[in-house]
Structure 1
């Protein structure tokens, strides 16, 4: 049983993938869940699956790139489910390549969702959380790419997730005096449809675009399950851990390589 049992959790990007796995894991622990997403049909489907496990759940349309949308979502959640005790900032997208060759709108979309989106979400939900008592927590879904030396194919996505991890650290410092904990989650390669994230891209960032199914073969063949990520993440959140790493086969080697290179940047001791 979670310390958040009987309380309300909000998950952005909760319609499918890791977000939906979080929602179902929380439902099994007795937590009421608001599923926020731009994918209305999928969000409703996930919310029904959550409610079928015996807790309250609502699906709320929310675009993390739009502060007004998030403000309306916050009002609806509190009205329907009560004060928010757990906020999981999970919505994220990916683009291939780096920042130089990608289109301007693709870069804007990536940064608006992965960097400004968490800021918008925290600003919408956290002030009211600061006014309540009891267990309160914020979690961020970053990526094990935060520990890697990024190659050209992962450059833009990985850098945006490194920014998100830094943002989580800053918000942790900001919320500590209020007794609100923060956990940063770093999954390795996961079997989700992030490779097809542009299927939900708003018109202002270029509109929807679907990738062929074969584009997701690497994620399907090599990725860990979303249930594995959710179980590890929920345990870390419940324990109040600062960091939750869900490694794949390369995560520790990438971590060691990155920090060896950082150590090499220090001046030689005289």
Structure 2
């Protein structure tokens, strides 16, 4: 997909943070946007903003942990626009805790949003993309943690983002023959409120939980999410598999590659 102008994109988690940045970047390129978020009022606000920029936009309340809600999102998008060209599985949450002290509720919540939310999006949109005949594109939001950032306290989040990368790598090979591209966005620290995503956690996952204030201060030092959005759209238009935003993460990826290489050399000396 060389140009998103006049296309239609669906972005989950688009009422704030990286999702909002992606939605704005699409609009700046002349792409119509379906703004999906569990926060209905926030989604409506962003949709109005995007329409003020000269594109069509639709706000849809959507909880990506519910397959039926994501299926309804796809139905509404096609009903409103007659097509969808790009799906951005961006909705995500995070929580900090030591691996051995993480509750089952915490694990289920993070994986249900970050991993199953992505899978629900693929299940609802991929059959429609294939039926339409392409071209189409799927952007899954991973993280620097997808590439190997073993930060203590972030174990479950890191595991979920490894899953996003692994699933996306297989998905792009499965869809290569259908003119459907797949990208993984791998940002490092971005100025968002994911640090306190637990404040809206539902009762079935144990109810609200708050992160320490120090994480807010840390996240505020991050990249502007609008800049992340611009980088993401450029990567989609180039059909990049990995879309990277922070050059300093290369050191972490190189370290992971070094460890793997040394392990092979140790077990299978050349």
Q: Report which stretch shifted further, 132-141 or 119-128.
A: 132-141
Partner Cα distance (1:153, 1:160) in 2: 14
> Does the 8 Å contact 2:99/2:153 carry over to 1?
no
CA distance in 1, matches of 2:149, 2:190: 19
Give the match for residue 179 of structure 2: 179
Match of 1:253 in 2: 251
Residue 15 (structure 1) shift: 0.8
Deviation at 1:190, TM superposition (A): 0.7
CA–CA separation in structure 2 for the residues paired with 1:161 and 1:11: 18
Give the Cα–Cα distance (whole angstroms) in 1 for the partners of residues 140 and 192 of structure 2.
17
TM-score (norm: length of structure 2): 0.94
The offset of 1:147, in angstroms, is 2.1
Q: CA deviation at 1:145?
A: 1.3
> Is residue 111 of structure 1 aligned with residue 117 of structure 2?
no
* Pairwise CA distance, 1:133: 3.3
Aligned position for 1:61: 61
Q: Could you say what the CA RMSD is over the residues aligned between the two structures, in angstroms? A: 1.6
1:4–1:135 contact (8 Å) kept in structure 2: no
1:31-73, CA deviations, whole angstroms, 9 ceiling, x for partnerless residues? Answer: 1100111011111111111111111111111111110111111
- Worse overlay, 55-64 or 130-139: 130-139
Aligned residues: 267
Structure 2, gaps ≥5 residues long: none
1:264 is aligned to 2:262: yes
Q: Distance in 1 between matches of 2:106 and 2:38?
A: 17
Residue 241 of structure 1 pairs with residue 247 of structure 2: no
User: Could you tell me how far apart the structure 2 residues matched to 1:146 and 1:71 are?
Assistant: 27
Q: Secondary structure at the match of 2:101?
A: coil
Q: CA–CA distance in 1 between the matches of 2:97 and 2:213?
A: 19
Give the TM-score, by structure 1 length.
Answer: 0.94
Runs of 4+ that moved beyond 6 A? none
Alignment gaps of 5+ in structure 1: none
Contact 1:108 1:205 in 2 (8 A): yes
Residues 149 and 158, structure 2, Cα contact 8 Å, conserved in 1? no
Query: CA shift at 1:255, angstroms?
Result: 1.1
Deviation at 1:269, TM superposition (A): 2.0
- 2:227 corresponds to 1:225: no
Q: Deviations over 1:245-266 (max 9, x none)?
A: 11153x1111111111111110
Query: Structure 1 residues 248, 42: closer, same or farther in 2, change over 3 A?
Result: farther
- Which one has more relative contact order, counting CA pairs under 8 Å at least 6 apart? 2
How does 1:149-188 map onto structure 2 within 5 Å? 149-188=149-188
